[in-house]
Amino acid sequence: MQKIVYFNKTRYFQVDHQALEMLLSKEQANGWRVYQLLPHSSFWHSGVYAYTILFERA
């Protein structure tokens, strides 16, 4: 079983890494593990502004 989460909480045009860590720990506690983490970047912003996260059942 898999699920996809689009994460786009930003702080100063970059991914809010603290919020991302909180999401990942919450999902792990619910029995999901990260299968793939796909970063999204933009020509207009420096760095990553979002992730598509693929989870699978642990």
Q: How confident is the model at residue 45 (pLDDT cuts 50, 70, 90)?
A: low
pTM surpassing 0.85? Answer: no
pLDDT digits (tens, 9 = 90+) for 1-34: 999 999 999 888 788 999 999 999 999 999 999 9
What Å distances lie between residue 6 and 14, 18, 32, CA to CA? Answer: 15, 16, 15
- Residue 46's pLDDT is 72
